[in-house]
Structure 1
Amino acid sequence: MKRRSSSGSRFLWWLLWFSLALLQVWNHYRDKPPSLPPPKETRFVKLTDVRLVEDASNDGDSFKIEHGGSAHVLRLYFVDCPEKRQYALVKNRLKDQAAYFGGLSIEQTLALGHEAKVFTERLLNEQPFTIQTRWERVFDSARSYALVFFPDGEELSEKLVRAGLCRIHTKGTWMPDGRREYDFEDHLRLLEREAKAAHRGAWGIPK
């Protein structure tokens, strides 16, 4: 009787161990749930009927807009366009921007910054656009980070990267359609490689 009891105990332990191992294998290979959406406080506010406001500080990635009778200064997520003028506070940033594009001169970098400003202003003046923002402040300034979408579905950072007029270098974010920050940045990197291969914008300037 004792031998049967011992054999039965071993069988139960073996069955328990096998069940636990099977559960671990199932848990490893089962379909994982989709990523949770960002918290409510990080969700975007959509602004329509927006227009660009002419301002001396406007450039390729930062500009003033008017919406609902109020003016706001916005700064793009993900990208950084070259400076359009040189002054003490941007001296090192200009050097970094010049180096990013393979060793441009400061004069070439400034010219590229002006080209980016014209590019962005032309798009915002000639096409309707929609703003997506969380009113997240840029450091301690009055500017807010934002995304700018056009009727073709593209965001302004995509168009700037595709044209070779910016570097991928600033704060990113979850996208309003649920794409993760790093997935969208990987997408921008792909567009940047295409711009390099086609020698667009900065990638076509003789060094």
Structure 2
Amino acid sequence: MRPGYGLAAWRDATILDLTPSMRRTMRARGAGVVPFVGVRRRMNLLSAVLASILTLTLLCVSASGWAAARRPWVQFVGCRYVEQPYNDGDSFHVRCGEKEMVVRLYLVDAPETRLHDADRVREQAEYFGVTIDEALFAGKRASDTVREALRAPFVVWTRWASAGGRGATPRYLAFVEVNGQSLAELLVSRGLARIKGIPAPSPQGTRSSELRAKLYALEGDAKRQRRGVWATSRGR
């Protein structure tokens, strides 16, 4: 007990951080500070553990990205689109010779096709200034656009940087080119993707900042022309 404090006063000073309803409950029950101190210590310990886990996760992700950035680009030509229910505008299954994988496009993010992650869909809808239904519809259009564009053989560039995912097929970040055009640029120019995601220089050596600048220019043109999802945009 601190000098000059009675037990009741010390208890009241200790529970100042509680909500009013919690304070009233503790006083009504004649609660002392010992149980609260124990709870507080456990909460502090839990916070420290969670912070450590988050730090380790970020370090692992950073180390993985740094290691991938040092690897050489690998080019696959004559790749084919493989129809799968989870394919969407920025992530889809491909077959390149005997190699099968799921690729996730660098630098861009297409709207989701399903409401399996409500927070993400809501964020995308807010970015484009549309309703959730309109965002999901744009996601389906992006998926259809990719499927149609990749009917022809295409090129995949990757450095084997993992893009996560929960499926059995490995998922890697990649640049995809079809008929000499960047698939990411195609999506943005049609108003079917936003500029967001893991940055990387192109396999040809163009800096990531230059790639993003070009994408923003394409996005600006798509907005002015009211293409794709921008046709019903009300917020940007």
Q: TM-score over 0.5 for the alignment?
A: yes
Which of residues 189, 197, 200 is equivalent to 1:162? Answer: 189
Name the amino acid aligned to 1:121: R
Which of residues 74, 84, 101 is equivalent to 1:55? Answer: 84
What residue in structure 1 maps to residue 134 of structure 2?
108
What residue in structure 2 maps to residue 199 of structure 1?
226
SS at 1:48 equivalent: strand
SS at 2:150 equivalent: helix
Deviation per residue, 1:109-135 (Å, 9 max, x gap): 11110000000000001x231111111
Displacement after TM superposition at 1:65 (Å): 0.6
User: Are 2:160 and 1:131 equivalent residues in the alignment?
Assistant: no
Displacement after TM superposition at 1:70 (Å): 2.6
Deviation per residue, 1:12-58 (Å, 9 max, x gap): xxxxxxxxxxxxxxxxxxxxxxxxxxx98332100012111110111
What TM-score does the superposition give when structure 1 sets the normalisation length? 0.75
Deviation per residue, 1:121-165 (Å, 9 max, x gap): 00001x2311111111014653100011122x3210000000000
What TM-score does the superposition give when structure 2 sets the normalisation length? 0.66
What residue in structure 2 maps to residue 189 of structure 1?
216
Which of residues 201, 205, 214 is equivalent to 1:178? Answer: 205
Q: C-alpha distance in 1, partners of 2:126/2:92?
A: 25
Name the count of aligned residue pairs. Answer: 164
User: Are 2:70 and 1:41 equivalent residues in the alignment?
Assistant: yes
For the structure 1 residues 168 and 48, does the alpha-carbon distance in structure 2 shift closer, same or farther, using more than 3 Å as the test? same
Which of residues 161, 171, 176 is equivalent to 1:148? Answer: 176
Q: C-alpha distance in 2, partners of 1:53/1:140?
A: 17
For the structure 1 residues 140 and 94, does the alpha-carbon distance in structure 2 shift closer, same or farther, using more than 3 Å as the test? closer
- 8 Å contact kept, 2:125–2:132: yes
Name the amino acid aligned to 2:174: A
Name the amino acid aligned to 1:194: D
Displacement after TM superposition at 1:99 (Å): 0.7
Name the amino acid aligned to 2:109: D
Q: C-alpha distance in 1, partners of 2:77/2:106?
A: 19
Q: Runs of 4 or more off by more than 4 Å in structure 1?
A: none
- 8 Å contact kept, 2:80–2:150: yes
Displacement after TM superposition at 1:71 (Å): 1.3
Unaligned segments of structure 2, at least 5 residues: 1-67
What residue in structure 2 maps to residue 11 of structure 1?
none
For the structure 1 residues 140 and 73, does the alpha-carbon distance in structure 2 shift closer, same or farther, using more than 3 Å as the test? closer
Q: C-alpha distance in 2, partners of 1:197/1:92?
A: 27
SS at 1:130 equivalent: strand
Unaligned segments of structure 1, at least 5 residues: 1-38
For the structure 1 residues 42 and 174, does the alpha-carbon distance in structure 2 shift closer, same or farther, using more than 3 Å as the test? farther
